[in-house]
Amino acid sequence: MSEQGIDFDELYEQMKEEQLDQSERPAIWGGEFPADRLNDFLNAWQTHLNAMPYRIWEHVSHIEFADAPAQPEFLQRADIFGEGGHLSLRRDIDRWLWHYIGTQANPMPNTTFNVVDFWVTHPNCQLRRYAESVVLWGKREEGAPHWSDNRVAAANLNYPLNTNGRVHLHFWRYTERGQTVFVWYRALSDKPV
């Protein structure tokens, strides 16, 4: 947008550039499984997890960045992400709902978790991808071992990044017809996009 107003031709050209062709489509899978099979599910994803080094575990009482959840029985949500993909889990009473968006190079894990491939059920979906970045909560006090923010007291903001500056989350936002349908968290860094 400029002082003269919105340039719709420019916006249209930008939208055309962001449209993905068939070869750029990410792998998108999802499904559900019983709550007592969380460890089995994470073990089935073990080979994929190496390319997803960032892990956020949201428990009933706290949030943490760690390799594995400290108290899996109290886990409510998880986001495991990196350049290789983004695996998101959400507890729904006695089951886990999950979805993954990532590289086509990663084969679907060989699991018994009734995996649904998005592209099989939505073959004509046309996605657009936008690279974006946000600044995360908190600040590091001088001499403090980790980040802190009094607005999210239950969160252990020990970001897995050694920086005294602000922490940025970089992600790809996928849209269909102007609506955000998927988000792939890709990296944490001390630099904006």
The string of DSSP codes covering 137-153 is S-BPPTT-SS-B-GGGT
* Average of per-residue pLDDT across 80-103: 95
Residue-wise pLDDT for 112-148, tens only, equals: 777 899 999 999 999 999 999 998 877 777 777 666 6
Q: pTM higher than 0.75, yes or no?
A: yes
Distance CA 17, CA 11 (A): 10
Residue 13 confidence (pLDDT): 65
Helical residues (DSSP H) of the chain, grouped into ranges: 8-18, 38-44, 46-49, 118-121
* Residue-level pLDDT at 1: 45
CA angle 39, 188, 163 (to 5 degrees): 120
pLDDT in tens, 12-66: 666 656 677 777 889 999 999 999 999 999 988 888 888 999 999 999 988 888 8
- Amino acid at site 111: T
Distance, in Å, from the CA atom of 59 to the CA atom of 80, rounded to the nearest integer, reads 14
Q: What is the DSSP letter of 193?
A: -
